[in-house]
Amino acid sequence: MRKEKPNFLFIMSDDHASHAISWYGSKINKTPNIDRIGEEGMRFDNCFCTNSLCSPSRASILTGTYSHINGVLTLAPLTCLDNRILTFPKILQQNGYQTAIFGKWHLGTGPQYCPSGFDEWAVLPGQGFYHNPEFIFKGPCGGYRKTVKGYVTDIITDMCIEYLESIDKNKPFCLFCHHKAPHRYWEPDEKHLHLFANEEIPEPETLLDDYSTRATAAKVAEMRIGVHMEEKDLKCEINRNLSEEELRRWAYQRYIKDYLRCVASIDDNVGRLLDYLDKKGLYKNTVVIYTSDQGFFLGDHGWYDKRFMYEESLKMPFLIRYPEIIKPGSVNDDIVLNVDFASLILDLAGLPVPESFQGRSFLPLLEGKTPSDWRDAMYYRYWTHRRGHNVFAHYGIRTKRYKLIYYYGDGLGLPWNCEEKETPEWELFDLEKDPYELKNVYDDPEYSEVVKELKNKLNKLQKELGDTPYHSED
Give yes or no for residue 14 binding Ca ion (CB under 5 A): yes
Task: Confirm if 39 and 328 have CB atoms less than 8 A apart.
Answer: yes
- Whichever of 267 and 293 has its CB closer to Ca ion, that residue is 293
Q: Cα-Cα-Cα-Cα dihedral of 241, 246, 252, 257, to 10°? A: -90
Dist CA 430 CA 437 (whole Å): 8
At 429, phi and psi to the nearest 5?
A: -125, 140
Question: Residue 399: beta bridge partners?
Answer: 377
CA terminus-to-terminus distance, the chain: 59
Q: How far is the CB of 52 from Ca ion (least distance, A)?
A: 8
H or E element in which residue 378 lies: strand 377-382
Angle at 41 between CA 323 and CA 104, to 5 degrees: 105
Q: How many residues bind Ca ion (CB under 5 A)?
A: 4
Nearer to Ca ion, 183 or 257 (CB): 183
Measured CA to CA in angstroms, residue 167 lies from 104, 256, 278, 370 at distances of 22, 39, 17, 36
Of 109-117, 253-261, 288-296, 313-321, which part binds Ca ion (CB under 5 A)? 288-296
Q: Minimum distance between the CB of residue 445 and Ca ion, rounded to whole angstroms?
A: 39
The answer to whether residues 322 and 287 touch, using CB atoms and an 8 Å cutoff, is yes
Element (H, E) at 368: none
Is 293 among the residues that bind Ca ion (CB under 5 A)? yes
Burial of residue 285, with CB atoms counted within 10 A of its CB: 0-12 exposed, 13-18 middle, 19 or more buried = middle
CB of 269 to Ca ion, least distance (A): 18
Q: Of 25-33, 239-247, 285-293, 459-467, which part binds Ca ion (CB under 5 A)?
A: 285-293
If the CB atoms of residues 54 and 260 are measured against Ca ion, the closer one turns out to be: 54
Alpha-carbon distance of 16 to 21, in angstroms, equals 8
Task: Between 391 and 404, name the residue whose CB sits nearer to Ca ion.
Answer: 391
Q: Calculate ∠ Cα 187-26-249, nearest 5°.
A: 60
Residue 15 or 422 having the CB closest to Ca ion: 15
Q: Is 253 exposed, middle or buried (0-12, 13-18, 19+ CB in 10 A)?
A: middle
- The closest residue (CB) to Ca ion is 54
Least distance to Ca ion, CB of residue 224, Å: 19
Nearer Cβ to Ca ion (249/389): 389
Min dist CB 372 to Ca ion, Å, is: 34
Strands of 167-240, DSSP E: 173-178
Q: Which is nearer to Ca ion, 189 or 305 (CB)?
A: 305
Which DSSP helix (H) or strand (E) runs through 70?
Answer: helix 67-70
**Interacting residues with Ca ion between 307 and 336 (CB under 5 A):** none
> Judged by CB, which is closer to Ca ion: 24, or 173?
24
Map residues 16-55 to x or -, x wherever contact with Ca ion holds by CB under 5 A.
Answer: --------------------------------------x-
Which stretch in 11-19, 332-340, 378-386, 426-434 sits in contact with Ca ion by CB under 5 A? Answer: 11-19
CA distances from 413 to 305, 421, 467 (A): 25, 10, 17
**Binding window for Ca ion (CB under 5 A); candidates: 12-20, 154-162, 352-360, 458-466:** 12-20
Q: Specify the stretch interacting with Ca ion by CB under 5 A; choose among 107-115, 249-257, 289-297, 310-318.
A: 289-297
The nearest distance, CB 454 to Ca ion, in angstroms, is: 28
The distance of closest approach from Cβ of residue 177 to Ca ion in the complex, given in angstroms and rounded to an integer, is 15
347 near Ca ion (CB under 5 A) = no
Residues in a beta bridge with 305:
none
Q: Cβ closer to Ca ion: 52 or 98? A: 52
Binding site for Ca ion (CB under 5 A): 14-15, 54, 293
